[in-house]
Amino acid sequence: MSTKQILGIWIFFCVISKLALSQNHALIPYPRQIATKQGYFKFAQQTTVAYSDKKLKKEATYLAAGLMNLCKLKTNTICVSKHSLNSKQSILLTLDPTFQNPEAYSLYITTNLITVKSATAKGVFYGIQSLLQLAANTSDVNSMNCLSIENDFPQYKWRGMHLDCSRHFFSTEFVKKYIDLIATYKFNYFHWHLTDDQGWRIEIKKYPKLTQIGAFRTGTMKGHYTEQQFDSIPYGGFYTQADIRDIVTYAQQRHVEIVPEIDMPGHAKAAIASYPQLSCNGEKVAVGTKWGIEKEVLCPSPFTFQFIDDLFAELTQLFPGEYIHIGGDEVLKEQWENSEFCKTLMRKENLNDATELQAFFMNKIEQIANKYHKKAIGWDEIMEKNTNTNATIMSWRGMEAGIEAAKNKHAVIMTPIDYCYFDHYQGNEATEPLAIGGYTPIEQVYAFNPCPDSVAIADRKYILGAQGNVWTEYLKTPELVEYMSTPRLCALAEVIWTGNQNKQIGFEHFKSRLVKHQDFLKKKNIHFSPTFLINEAAKK
Ligand code: ACM
């Protein structure tokens, strides 16, 4: 074969693969059904964004802002229940009660009209996300390929992302950027880890020392835990109640429910440093400076339960969602075992050991949450020796606890450490930023199945969905949070939204879309990790 012929074949394959990619539409999560049609929708000098019901006004405003920010496209927004739709090039947002799933949407792009339809504003918002991804990823920003996405809906109700703002504190501005990012991929829960040993981050009016003392530490561990090295740079910060309200409103506009976590009874050293009466021995301690698990634990005393009740009274005024996360993970029980108060309590309550005491403690907190009309969520430890809870569990140490809980008719969110911990390395440790450990490349996230075949059909409904966790011991900056979370959260979004179908679409299809999708992330100013490309090159 001549060099010319080889070159010809190579060009042919390049064109074909580019065409195949363009047919893939760089959408994440991929819709259940998508059909490309003939023709293009061309944006006019000023395209109209019309909404048929005033309930969709916020969505119309969001779409207009997105088209401007991502594509520099100017639009004007009108309510067509008041005016008629007479502009030639228009985008119509409309409600249609015939959809069975309230989160489902359809998107039709024709030559002069784009329609986004759903039974709810939330579903319309998801259709807008697909539309914005398509608009931002077209090579010619002024024209979009005609297509239809028919009745796209999520596999799971719980599509969560978490962020630890205790180990490192992130500004209100960044928390909003993170919420906007997760909403882009149709996540609907933001699990906000607000308290831990190394910092209490939420203003509580009745207990001002929580933020006067608990929000600040004198230094921070540097390097790996085994090295035991520390800096002595004072570090801290917290969200005022005004900040919280602002973030909650921002999340509501993006159909994201915030689940605040107050981690108890372990991971509570910052609270105990502020109010030593919360511990069994009353000893004065400082806010934590090292990572790992601390021995300090809240005492199951009347003072502690009154504190939690007061705390929840304020928290429930700030967070309008259905849930409060009450923690429950990694509790060292030595202080309880050495406490005369706990020994007496255990005899009185017929508790055989400290694990039963933890179940007693968690159930009391759950009752306080319920008193304020909130459902409790806890890490999977809360199920240990506990038959008396209605809490939803987050299965993090693996999937076994979640599968067992579903068998016992408990609501479960799967967040197993081997698939959903985005603080783990995603590539070669030698060339990646310092991380806590582990190895969870994006392929592994994509291979995750929140509801394995071993779960009995009757129990599957208890698995509400899944969540990605972003612990920040080693993530000091917003850029590092974005680098570790993205694009692994894109893979998780597809697992949870597209669900079982992702097995049919496959990782290669996902990856080809992700390659193209990088432009969208750049336009959103997300400092994503290119490691998935490096891993791929290393295989060749
Ligand atoms: C956890 O990772 N300790 C829930």
The residues, ordered by sequence, that sit 6+ positions from 477 with a Cβ below 8 Å of its Cβ are none
Q: Give the model's pLDDT for residue 450.
A: 97
Domain ranges of the chain: 33-152, 158-271+302-332+369-506
Superfamily of domain 33-152: Chitobiase/beta-hexosaminidase domain 2-like (3.30.379.10)
Q: Give the model's pLDDT for residue 60.
A: 98
Confidence of residue 212 (pLDDT cuts 50, 70, 90): very high
CB of residue 532 inside a 6 A radius of ligand 1: no
Q: Do the strands 220-222 and 229-231 form a parallel or antiparallel pair, or are they unpaired?
A: antiparallel
Confidence of residue 534 (pLDDT cuts 50, 70, 90): confident
Smallest CA separation from ligand 1 atom 1, residue? 329
Smallest CA separation from ligand 1 atom 3, residue? 329
Q: Do domains 33-152 and 158-271+302-332+369-506 have the same CATH topology?
A: no
CB of residue 126 inside a 6 A radius of ligand 1: no
Task: Tell me which residue of 373, 243, 253, 355 sits closest to 312, measured CA to CA.
Answer: 373
Tens of pLDDT along 443-457? 999 999 999 999 999
Q: What is the pTM of this model?
A: 0.94
Q: Give the model's pLDDT for residue 22.
A: 44
Atom of ligand 1 nearest to the CA of 417: 2
CB of residue 379 inside a 6 A radius of ligand 1: yes
Rg (CA), the chain: 25
The residues that bridge with 323 in the sheet, in sequence order, are 375
What average pLDDT is seen over the chain?
Answer: 93
Match 């005492």 to its residue by tokens. Answer: 299
Section 97-103 average pLDDT: 97
Instruction: Name which of 172-176, 497-501, 515-519 the model is least confident about.
Output: 497-501
The pLDDT of residue 6 is above 60: no
The residues that bridge with 75 in the sheet, in sequence order, are 47
In CATH, what number does 158-271+302-332+369-506 get? 3.20.20.80
Tens of pLDDT along 57-69? 999 999 999 999 9
Confidence of residue 25 (pLDDT cuts 50, 70, 90): confident
Q: Give the model's pLDDT for residue 49.
A: 96
Tens of pLDDT along 324-334? 999 999 999 99
Q: Give the model's pLDDT for residue 234.
A: 98
Section 452-468 average pLDDT: 96
Section 420-430 average pLDDT: 97
Smallest CA separation from ligand 1 atom 2, residue? 396
Decide: residue 9, CB within 10 A, 0-12 exposed, 13-18 middle, 19+ buried.
Answer: exposed
Q: Give the model's pLDDT for residue 139.
A: 72
Residues known to be catalytic:
196, 267, 330
CB of residue 53 inside a 6 A radius of ligand 1: no
Which of 332, 396, 415 for a ligand 1 pocket mutation test, highest count of atoms within 8 Å of Cβ? Answer: 396
